[in-house]
Amino acid sequence: MTIPTLSPGALAGLRVVEMGQLIAGPFAGKTLGDFGADVIKIEPPGAGDPLRNWRMIQDGTSVWWQVQSRNKRSIALDLRSAEGQDIARKLIAQADVLIENFRPGTLEGWGMDYATLSRDNPGLVMLRISGYGQTGPYRDLPGFGAIGEAMGGLRHLTGEPGRVPVRCGISIGDTLAALHGTIGVLTALYHRKVNGGQGQVIDVALHEAVFNVMESLVPEYSAFGAVREAAGSALPGIAPSNAYRCADGVVLIAGNGDSIFKRLMQCIGRDDLANDPALADNAGRVRRVEELDAAIGAWTLSRTVTGVLGSLGAAKVPAGRVYTARDIVEDPHFLARDMILSQKTRDGHEVKVPGIVPKLLGTPGQVRSSAPRLGDDTDAVLAELALSPQDIAALRERKVVA
């Protein structure tokens, strides 16, 4: 899939200043940028955002960077200097949204608290993402996504029963915080539009974003004193739904709807279970989940993944295999839905990157520009603040910008 002809996105005209780094704040900025916002990313001169050097590197830059920072402009600005802070305040005065994910109190120490910034820009929407939020007894503690996942309850449920909890494989706590932050930004912008133009602060804590998706965890404890535990690949309290071994791999089968369960049992040749009145509803199936898993597992083990999926697809039973990166980029459904984009880096390499979600049919998101090199847009952004080439050269000489 190649990048289509560009058109204004749903957020065209929205200006965002991104002062975050690594994952949570920049993911929120990336999401807004995908839908047309002008995202100005402020990075420290020298190394820039540390994400530039994370994981696998191509020509000195992480390929992860090509996803996280597409549709952004980079200005290299020393925020620890008084002159750099003054430039940042001028940029924020012209912005609709400010994104930051520093430790609480950092911006206040630079004289960029919301009360000060909003005097020059009353409509400013300020997204603040931190480990524990801007208030509370833990606010000053450092917090990364992994810690938020543990505190929010997710890590306790990952892995096999009785084993050390495992990571889910990606920085899901940061991403959940970013998505909650993006929802907050869009909500605040709507409120600003219909309620007199007043902006506000959105306070997102990593652990709260994780906790918000923990489903029935707390209600079950409140009502029954039940502490949910890790269950491996099973879905506790819902049956049958699990991962099952085949002759050449693993399949996931979700046969937990009443009519789906009956079709599944008929498909595997177990009419006795399909017609058992004690298994007609989920409560009955949960009581006999081990028996059901054993029956399904015995059937899948003698078949290939392809054969199992073919049979279950014909029976209209939800099932799927476990995809690798290779599977994803070669899958016809991913390709048909434009979920694999071919993007050219600033250094001329072609790299495949994830497509844009969600899909707006009237004003779809697009990749309008590849991820910038550090400071690629410093001069252009400063010129928009009416700084002359001489002014910019002087700032560069004093190492305020790069």
Where residue 45 falls (left for φ over 0; alpha for ψ -120 to 50; beta otherwise) is beta
pLDDT band with cut points at 50, 70 and 90 for residue 301:
very high
- Give the bridge partners for 250, in sequence order: 245
Separation CA 394–CA 390 (nearest Å): 6
Sign of CA dihedral 383, 94, 91, 31: negative
pLDDT digits (tens, 9 = 90+) for 18-76: 998 999 999 999 999 999 999 999 999 998 999 999 999 999 999 999 999 999 999 99
Separation CA 332–CA 329 (nearest Å): 8
**Contact 127/96 with Cβ under 8 angstroms?**
no
Separation CA 183–CA 202 (nearest Å): 10
pLDDT above 70 (res 4): no
In the block, tokens 């820009």 appear at 121
Cβ-proximal residues to 6 (8 Å cutoff; 6+ apart), any chain: 366, 368
Q: What confidence score (pLDDT) does residue 180 get? A: 98
pLDDT above 60 (res 232): yes
**Contact 53/62 with Cβ under 8 angstroms?**
yes
pLDDT above 80 (res 6): no
pLDDT digits (tens, 9 = 90+) for 323-371: 999 999 999 999 999 999 999 999 999 999 999 999 999 999 999 999 9
pLDDT digits (tens, 9 = 90+) for 74-128: 999 999 999 999 999 999 999 999 999 999 999 999 999 999 999 999 999 999 9
Separation CA 154–CA 156 (nearest Å): 5
Separation CA 203–CA 184 (nearest Å): 9
Separation CA 400–CA 396 (nearest Å): 6
pLDDT over 90, % of the chain: 93
Per CATH, is 241-325 categorized as 3.40.50.280? no
Q: Which CATH architecture has domain 15-213+332-397?
A: 3-Layer(aba) Sandwich (3.40)
Q: List the 241-246 sheet strands across, edge first.
A: 241-246, 249-254, 319-321
In the block, tokens 């998706």 appear at 213
- Domain map (residue ranges) of the chain: 15-213+332-397, 241-325
Over its C-alpha atoms, the chain yields an Rg (Å, rounded) of 25
The alpha helices in 239-342, defined as continuous H runs, are 258-267, 271-274, 282-287, 289-301, 305-314, 325-330, 332-336
In the block, tokens 């001069």 appear at 379
For residue 348, the Cα-to-chain-centroid distance in whole angstroms is 27
Q: What are phi and psi of 224, to 5 degrees?
A: -125, -5
Report DSSP letters for 120-155, one per residue: H-TT-EEEEEESS-SSSTTTTS---HHHHHHHTTSG
In degrees to the nearest 10, what's the CA dihedral of 10, 15, 21, 24?
A: -40
Instruction: Write down the catalytic residue from 34, 38, 78, 174.
Output: 174
Cβ-proximal residues to 183 (8 Å cutoff; 6+ apart), any chain: none
Q: What confidence score (pLDDT) does residue 5 get? A: 57
- Measured at the CA of 79, the angle between CA 347 and CA 87, to 5 degrees, comes to 90
In the block, tokens 């916002």 appear at 37
Tokens of 323: 């995809």
Please name which of 69, 91, 76, 88 lies closest in space to residue 372, comparing C-alpha atoms.
69
- The pairing of strands 61-62 and 57-58 is antiparallel
CA distance readout (Å), 297 to 180, 188, 256, 265: 38, 50, 15, 12
For residue 308, the Cα-to-chain-centroid distance in whole angstroms is 32
Average pLDDT over residues 268-273: 98
pLDDT band with cut points at 50, 70 and 90 for residue 2:
very low
pLDDT digits (tens, 9 = 90+) for 131-156: 999 999 999 999 899 999 999 999 99
Please name which of 159, 126, 165, 130 lies closest in space to residue 145, comparing C-alpha atoms.
130
First-to-last C-alpha distance (Å) of the chain: 35
User: What is the reported pTM?
Assistant: 0.94
Tell the burial category of 304 from Cβ atoms under 10 Å away from its Cβ (0-12, 13-18, 19+): middle
CA distance readout (Å), 167 to 149, 160, 376: 9, 12, 35
Separation CA 48–CA 244 (nearest Å): 45
338 part of the active site: no
Q: Give the least confident one: 9-13, 162-166, 390-394.
A: 162-166
